[in-house]
Amino acid sequence: MAMPLRQSIKVATYLIEQKVRKRDKFPLIVELEPLYACNLKCEGCGKIQHPAGVLKQRMPVAQAVGAVLESGAPMVSIAGGEPLMHPHIDEIVRQLVAKKKYVFLCTNALLMRKKMDKFTPSPYFAFTVHIDGMRERHDESVAKEGVFDEAVEAIKEAKKRGFRVTTNSTFFNTDTPQNIIEVLNYLNDDLEVDEMMLSPAYAYEKAPDQEHFLGVEQTRELFKKAFAGGNRRRWRLNHSPLFLDFLEGKVDFPCTAWAIPNYSLFGWQKPCYLMADGYVTTYKDLIEKTDWDAYGRGKDERCNNCMAHCGYEPTAVLATMGSLKESLRAARETVSGNRG
């Protein structure tokens, strides 16, 4: 992936260790959900539609940290729900950073300035702010006015205090190449965030809005046009070059959902972050008790239009590690910042 050199070295070392150990399935980054409660009701979200009793639950610190350590993954993305609503989220982050895990705390930023004093800048920690577009587009996406402006102020404050700040943008069939170019230019050039992540939206079964998810061909056309003219070379995108090629339709990959597993209040989610067909108590059980051959495009209709980061970025990373040419390309772009 295009990421800080220290992090790239740690991830590369980890991947080499897995190859030496001849492990064919292993976690690259854990999607940790210590709660489902949120202070927004985004139309495209399929994570918050749970009974009131579940929405009140908060994962104990020891359970959250223990799951990540049990998996052995070098990175963790803390999602939800809204993680900053968890009363002990700072302690979860502190303990994971102490173990030298790279932690990305995903947030809509509504509570970010209020809770920022609870966190300490570290090369192992980053706020990952949800930004789907410029002001009107983003506020429409999250169904609340003023969220974009608050997110911008939170990003500025975090950068001022020395925190690493990344962003995560999800795009739908209502988006245009110009929408993508405009928001990524703003994040890259005006706010100067450290890195940006992007993904076509996944059609969650429980999402209120079922009309605006992208199909495969729509996704390829959208990103091919958005990346044209050297844009992807200039943007600080936290993705492997091959994943960006995948979004454009230059290459195709199978899904490797086991590499970005989801651990939530219910346990390890089968088969992936996006679909919930059951839960198990350990990552080992997730690997051994999931019929991985039953999932993927052409196997499960829920997978047919999925091109999400959590399913395909790991495949791109593994393909990069398996190719000297692509490894050199990724290394060159990590050092230079060139994502083309």
pLDDT tens, position by position, 214-225: 788 999 999 999
Q: Is the pLDDT of residue 193 over 50?
A: yes
Q: Is the pLDDT of residue 47 over 80?
A: no
Cβ neighbours of 2 (radius 10 Å):
23
pTM of the model: 0.92
Alpha-carbon distance values, 178 to 156, 169, 220, 239 (Å): 24, 14, 15, 20
User: What's the mean pLDDT in 197-206?
Assistant: 76
Contact present, 28 and 316 (Cβ < 8 Å): no
- Angle at the Cα of 218 from the Cα atoms of 212 and 220, rounded to 5 degrees: 135
Q: In whole numbers, what is the pLDDT of the chain averaged over residues?
A: 91
Stated as kind and residue range, the H or E segment containing 30 is strand 29-32
Q: Is the pLDDT of residue 335 over 60?
A: no
Q: If you compute the radius of gyration of the chain from its CA atoms, what whole number of angstroms results?
A: 18
The reported pLDDT for the residue numbered 205 is: 54
Mark 291-320 as b/e (b = at least 16 C-beta within 10 Å): ebeebbbeeeebbebbbbbbbbbbbbbbbb
User: What's the mean pLDDT in 309-325?
Assistant: 85
Alpha-helical segments (H) within 4-88: 5-20, 52-55, 61-71
User: What's the mean pLDDT in 78-92?
Assistant: 97
The reported pLDDT for the residue numbered 334 is: 59
Concatenated DSSP letters for 154-194? HHHHHHHTT-EEEEEEEE-TT--HHHHHHHHHIIIIIS--S
Specify the amino acid at residue 181. Answer: I
Round to whole Å and give the CA distance between 260 and 220: 22
The reported pLDDT for the residue numbered 215 is: 85
Contact present, 163 and 126 (Cβ < 8 Å): yes
The reported pLDDT for the residue numbered 309 is: 87
Of 311, 264, 303, 261, nearest to 286 by C-alpha is: 261
Q: In what order do the strands lie in the sheet with 75-78?
A: 195-200, 164-171, 125-130, 102-107, 75-78, 29-32, 262-264, 267-271, 276-280
List the domains of the chain with CATH numbers: 27-316 (3.20.20.70)
Task: Identify the bridge partners of residue 171 per DSSP, sorted by sequence position.
Answer: 200
Phi-psi region for residue 5, left (φ > 0), alpha (ψ -120 to 50) or beta?
Answer: alpha
Round to whole Å and give the CA distance between 202 and 46: 9
DSSP code of 74?
S
Concatenated DSSP letters for 228-241? GGGHHHHS-B-S-H
